[in-house]
Amino acid sequence: MGWDKQSKENAGELVKEFSQWLQENKDEITALEIFSDQPFRRRELTYKMIREVLEKLKLEKPALAPLRVWNAYEQLNNTNGSPKNELIALVSLIRSVTGIDKQLTPYDKTVDKNFQDWVFNKQAGALKFTEEQMHWLRMIKEYVSSSFHIEKDDFELSPFNAQGGLGKMWQLFGDKSEEIITELNET
């Protein structure tokens, strides 16, 4: 019983230290600044920005590795699932600490839920996506789940380039293509 209590205390200290590190660095790292103070800019987050946070964290505070902090939250029973990798854990932790998410949930699961809601809302009216459009929308969702953002240039990369790239996107969605990219980034 005493070991369990000590373990939970240690987990609580680790969670607190992680939150303090985020607070101390929010003005120095663009991604943290965006998460903390500028919600309208969250759609601008890039994979590179998140990598920068991870590299700085590992350099300055290796004991605050995202998966280690995640495990501390699990000991405190404050999680909803497990992350696929360290970057997803980091984004999820930042979203939780900054109050975006009420419970610590893997970012890819949050993206899945938000995507499902977005599709449902879009198709609630006259708009109905075709099977091929839904395939492309799911590819975009998966890309955003792991890269945190999508831009037109990303359609030259896998998996999009093998299926027609940006040209195919325009063929499927026409003048709504840019709107869809923007909305999915925001969602």
Residues 99-145 pLDDT 10s: 888 889 999 999 999 999 999 999 887 788 999 999 999 999 999 98
pTM, rounded to two decimals: 0.82
Q: Please give the Cα distance from 52 to 87 (Å, whole number).
A: 10
Q: What is the pLDDT of residue 46?
A: 81
Query: In angstroms, what CA-CA distances link 124 with 2, 23, 32, 118, 127?
Result: 54, 40, 35, 10, 7
Which segment of 21-30, 40-49, 64-73, 81-90 scores lowest on mean pLDDT?
Answer: 40-49
Q: Please give the Cα distance from 26 to 51 (Å, whole number).
A: 15
Look over the chain and give the mean of its residue pLDDT values, rounded to a whole number. Answer: 89
Q: What is the pLDDT of residue 38?
A: 62
Please return the burial class of 94, using the count of CB atoms within 10 Å of its CB with bins 0-12, 13-18 and 19+: buried
| For residue 2, pLDDT beyond 60 | no
Give which of 74, 58, 71 is closest to 21, Cα–Cα.
Answer: 58
Which segment of 34-43, 50-59, 99-108 scores lowest on mean pLDDT?
Answer: 34-43
For residues 104 and 78, is the Cβ–Cβ distance under 8 A?
A: yes
For residues 29 and 23, is the Cβ–Cβ distance under 8 A?
A: no
Peptide bond into 159 cis (omega under 30): yes
Q: What is the pLDDT of residue 33?
A: 82
The tokens describing 155, both together, are 């359609």
Q: Please give the Cα distance from 53 to 93 (Å, whole number).
A: 12
Over residues 152-156, mean pLDDT: 93
Q: What is the pLDDT of residue 160?
A: 95
